[in-house]
Structure 1
Amino acid sequence: MTGDTTSLRALADAQGGVVLTAQALAGGWTRGRLGRFLASDGWARIRGGAWLAPGREAGPGELLWAHQLLRPEFVVSHWSAAALHGVEGGPPARPEFVCAARAAVKGVRLHRLPLEPGEVTAVGGLRATTVARTMADLLRAGPRDEALLAVDSALAWRHVAAPGARGARRPPLTTLDAIGRALTSAPALRGARGAAWWLALADPRAGSPAETLARLRMHDAGLHPETQAVLVVPATGRRVYPDFLFRRQGLVVETEGYAWHGSRAQHQRDVIRFNALAACPEVRRILRFTTADVRDRPALMIRDIRAALA
């Protein structure tokens, strides 16, 4: 049987745009005919033995497909798995996998860790660690702040960019208990003790990465406000949820998320919310900080909060 182009393209569509030379040969192609077709049709060599369909770029997802097709025992993990699950966090510098056996592959970060069958799931066709196991791995590996940014993202309702869907939100991806079980299932792994301490700092109510970072900065400074406290506007009965509330001093601390309030509607909602907070009897002062303040000028943020609390 001679391989046909339609089947080859269909196989690529089912595999993130990637086809292996070995798969094509098993489908009836000869090496010579396959090489001529790939060259004339514009396929790109993504790595040895793996080809990328025309019109596609070798992004993180395509690289994961190529490596996992070549090494089926590799399970997508850590930051690569977090990205697959839709967890907020920095993109991995290179594909990350878990594999129980010792191996070395150029361009891949491989973690030699044990995995239980229930800790592996399918995400878009790729085999990856579950959300709970992924968060446990990130907590064990650290650094703390980056890991907790991912954990809070996985635990919380988060706004998502959906075409034509204004204000769409995705539900939490996992629970604190599930992450805790994933941590305790392998207590002997390096970093497990510190990970358990860090997990205690997670907050499913966090509304944005900036809010998570601000909470961690305040925690490190010995400041422990209420998060997402429920306040009621007397005149309207409307409920509002300040990011942080120092109830005894009547101080609210608000953080601006990464999304810029650029439209008139967004700006209007922001003004209404600010006025509603100011109308609550528990609130005597409101401090607002941008993402840049939280990320790049945390000492100044803490100084201003301490001054307002004095």
Structure 2
Amino acid sequence: MRDDHAFSHSTAASMLGLPIPPDRERDPRVHVSALRGGRAPRGRGVAGHSTTVDAEVRRFRGLQVMSPSDTWCTLSTMLGLDDLVAAGDRLVGLPQPLATFDEIDAALDRYAGRAGMVRLLRARSELRADSYSRQESLLRLALVRAGLPEPEPNGMITLRSGRRTRGDLVFRGYRVLVEYDGEHHRLDLAQWTTDVARLNDLAADGWLVIRTTKRMPRSELVERTARALRDRGWRG
């Protein structure tokens, strides 16, 4: 690649660890942007782009890649709103943030007036720190879109035993918790054993725990969560 080229869009997202939908992950092309308004690169297996944005570029394993915040901005023309929020949540999420909110806002200033800006600004308003996975972000959005109170992503819970644990989506004022069980919870015996002990401790402390999986319909999750919240005094 030339010095004025950098990996961008879904290719940069995959390299940096921003979660994107499976169909975007399976794109066999590499997305490369020409900086400073240069001619978009062409070649077999290359999706070329050109930008006049003064994008930040970083070295990643010896390769030129747009910064995490700039990469997120380039995704605005490829992703719907909720997928864009999920990718943005990773920027400020766990286990280690990839960007600060100030860095995201600086990138938004650089992309002002570009395609997808309206979607980017709306997504920015819905970003939350401490998310851990794409599924957690999408579940949070589904619950909020249904009119439920907004939960804390990975809120820290201190149990009576003194043990501290994080809950995936915590409705702290109602002691209701939504937990997403991914495949690793089912296939990893040590993880499963830990989960059982942890959920027993939460139940003993009076928490209502709603467990969900990738296959559970969102409507069912919303209904179960709303019922649990109403049982605990929510009047939405």
Same fold (TM over 0.5): yes
Percent sequence identity over matched residues?
27
Q: In the TM superposition, what are the counterparts of 1:144-293 in structure 2 within 5 Å?
A: 144-158=81-95, 171-227=96-152, 228-234=154-160, 236-281=161-206, 283=207, 285-293=208-216
The total of aligned residue pairs comes to 222
Residues of 1 paired with 2:150 and 2:200: CA distance?
21
User: Deviation digits for residues 79-115 of structure 1, max 9, x if unmatched?
Assistant: 1011222333342512112222344625432233223
The verdict on how the C-alpha distance between 1:238 and 1:114 changes in structure 2, with shifts beyond 3 A counting, is same
* Contact 1:154 1:174 survives alignment (8 Å): yes
What is residue 307 of structure 1 aligned with on the other side?
227
Runs of 4+ in 1 over 6 A off after TM superposition: none
The verdict on how the C-alpha distance between 1:258 and 1:246 changes in structure 2, with shifts beyond 3 A counting, is same
Counterpart residue identity of residue 127, structure 2: A
Deviation at 1:215, TM superposition (A): 0.6
Aligned CA-pair RMSD: 2.3
The verdict on how the C-alpha distance between 1:247 and 1:85 changes in structure 2, with shifts beyond 3 A counting, is closer
* TM value normalised by structure 2: 0.82
What is residue 78 of structure 1 aligned with on the other side?
9
User: Deviation digits for residues 90-148 of structure 1, max 9, x if unmatched?
Assistant: 4251211222234462543223322326x011212221101111112224543122222
Query: RCO higher in 1 or 2 (8 Å CA, sep ≥ 6)?
Result: 2
SS at 1:206 equivalent: coil
Residues of 1 paired with 2:74 and 2:123: CA distance?
12
Counterpart residue identity of residue 262, structure 1: L
What is residue 48 of structure 2 aligned with on the other side?
110
Q: Could you say which structure has the larger radius of gyration?
A: 1
The verdict on how the C-alpha distance between 1:185 and 1:258 changes in structure 2, with shifts beyond 3 A counting, is farther
Deviation at 1:208, TM superposition (A): 1.9
Do residues 133 (structure 1) and 53 (structure 2) align? no
* Contact 2:140 2:151 survives alignment (8 Å): no
For structure 1, the 5+ residue unaligned runs are 1-67, 159-170
* Contact 1:211 1:257 survives alignment (8 Å): no
What is residue 35 of structure 1 aligned with on the other side?
none
Counterpart residue identity of residue 207, structure 1: Y
Deviation at 1:153, TM superposition (A): 2.4
Deviation at 1:198, TM superposition (A): 0.6
SS at 1:241 equivalent: strand
User: Deviation digits for residues 179-215 of structure 1, max 9, x if unmatched?
Assistant: 1210112311122132111122122211222211101
SS at 1:259 equivalent: helix
* Contact 2:41 2:49 survives alignment (8 Å): no
The verdict on how the C-alpha distance between 1:257 and 1:199 changes in structure 2, with shifts beyond 3 A counting, is farther
